[in-house]
Structure 1
Amino acid sequence: MHATEPLFQASQYLQALQGYWWPFCRLMAVFSMAPLFNHKAMSRKIRVLLALVITAAVGAALPTVPQIDPLSARGVMTALEQIAFGLMLGLTLQLVFTVFSVVGEVVSSQMGMSMARYNDPINGVSSSSIVYQLYFVLLAFLFLAIDGHLLVLSVLFKSFSHWPVGSGLNYHSYTLFIKAIAWVFSAAVLLTLPMVFCMVLVQFCFGLLNRISPSMNLFSLGFPITIVVGLLCIYMTIPNLPEHYLHLTRELLDNIGLMMEDGQGGQ
């Protein structure tokens, strides 16, 4: 009896550790996609360590996890399920930054600054526009100012109540996620419309001058004026950036809430 007792206690400890494995998988998936957490300044070792610390801190407060063998086929599918949930949450939280990424690309192309690129391997591309880097720095400060890192952890914690471990993937949640991606493009169009209109108006005026006076060298005059007008438009819209960011963040949290509610109702 005494010889088998330590082995029995070890099996209990292993079963208890299984309850921390599934949240760790979801946390790692979220940190790989969530804004600022996926930045190159935060290495993979730091993300893994941060996920371990947070899992150990909140693991006991999470809903009871069903006993699933991690090495079984069901265990592998459950791990993939947690990774899918984490990726969906991380990508959804990244959508506000994606909106301003599209805004930066559109504005820079209208200004004629598409050739001014910045090495940006984090976003999955070789480079990104300088205008977007300006927006990214401002958004990073706003993200930290509103405690966005704590907001990410709060959303992640609530996701375990609406999407418990072993509940399976829900079709309605992914449908709303696809609709949220469409929302990104509509929000980007609304934000860029005033600046694009100004750029088109300037280009139309120079095109009219070219028809009136073909001998005028508009290439040497039009490009600097277009860039100056574009910088002026950015300067005039930057003060409204916090308001737009907060509004888009509220819309994003509402979409996440609908995704979680539909995921819970579909079970």
Structure 2
Amino acid sequence: MPILNWEIEQLQSVMLIFTRMTAIFLTAPVLNTRRVPLHTKIGLSLMVALILGPIIQMTSAMPKETLPFAALVFKEAVVGLSIGFIANMIFAAVQMAGEIADMQSGFAFARLVDPHTGQRISVIGQFQIMMASLIFLGVDGHHILFSGLLDSYRVMPLG
């Protein structure tokens, strides 16, 4: 289905999908770092939204007025941010475990600047975050995250 032949409801649907995807990609593990440029995250979100646009169906009619549509955009952003933050909680727990291990072993004052976030992070915490990222990618965690994104439209459909 060419994009030029889409109706306004289909474009609104793609915009809602794009909103959720952008919110997820801004907060999801491995993608929420400074090493992944913002343009890349937005481009990936747009690509996924264009792919999922014809697949995902609206559960109700798309609102014609601006305010109800803005409320739907806000809802999709909140859902996307929630999914991304929940997925990122595991990495935060790993980082906290590294912080505690640093304090217990006497490395509390030896802190590095994390190139991903720009924050000061403990030595063991930095090592554990890098290992957790490698394990996440090694066990196809990004595939699980993408399948969870598709499942999110079954649990919290558009509209």
Q: TM-score, normalised by structure 1?
A: 0.54
- The gaps in structure 2 that reach 5 residues or longer are none
2:62 is matched with 67
- Tell whether the 8 Å contact from 1:63 to 1:160 is kept in structure 2 after alignment: no
122, 127, 135: which one pairs with 2:120? 127
Pairing 1:162–2:155 present: yes
The alpha-carbon deviation at position 135 of structure 1 amounts to: 0.6
The alpha-carbon deviation at position 13 of structure 1 amounts to: 2.8
85, 92, 95: which one pairs with 1:91? 85
1:207 is matched with none
**CA distance, structure 1, for counterparts of residue 54 and residue 122 of structure 2:** 44
**CA distance, structure 2, for counterparts of residue 11 and residue 50 of structure 1:** 23
Aligned-partner residue type, residue 79 of structure 1: V
5, 8, 15: which one pairs with 1:14? 8
2:30 is matched with 36
The alpha-carbon deviation at position 54 of structure 1 amounts to: 0.9
Larger radius of gyration, structure 1 or 2? Answer: 1
1:138 is matched with 131
Higher relative helix content = 1
The alpha-carbon deviation at position 137 of structure 1 amounts to: 1.3
Aligned-partner residue type, residue 105 of structure 2: M
- The gaps in structure 1 that reach 5 residues or longer are 1-9, 167-267
Q: CA RMSD in A?
A: 1.9
In percent, how many aligned pairs have the same letter?
Answer: 23
Structure 1 SS opposite 2:145: helix
**CA distance, structure 1, for counterparts of residue 119 and residue 51 of structure 2:** 37
- State the aligned residue count: 155
The alpha-carbon deviation at position 164 of structure 1 amounts to: 1.1
Task: Kindly report which structure 2 residues correspond to 1:1-267, keeping only aligned pairs within 5 A, or say none.
Answer: 13-64=7-58, 66-69=61-64, 72-120=66-114, 122-123=116-117, 126-166=119-159
Question: Measured at CA, do residues 12 and 151 of structure 1 come closer, stay the same or move farther in structure 2, by a change above 3 Å?
Answer: closer
Deviations 1:169-223 (A, max 9, x none): xxxxxxxxxxxxxxxxxxxxxxxxxxxxxxxxxxxxxxxxxxxxxxxxxxxxxxx
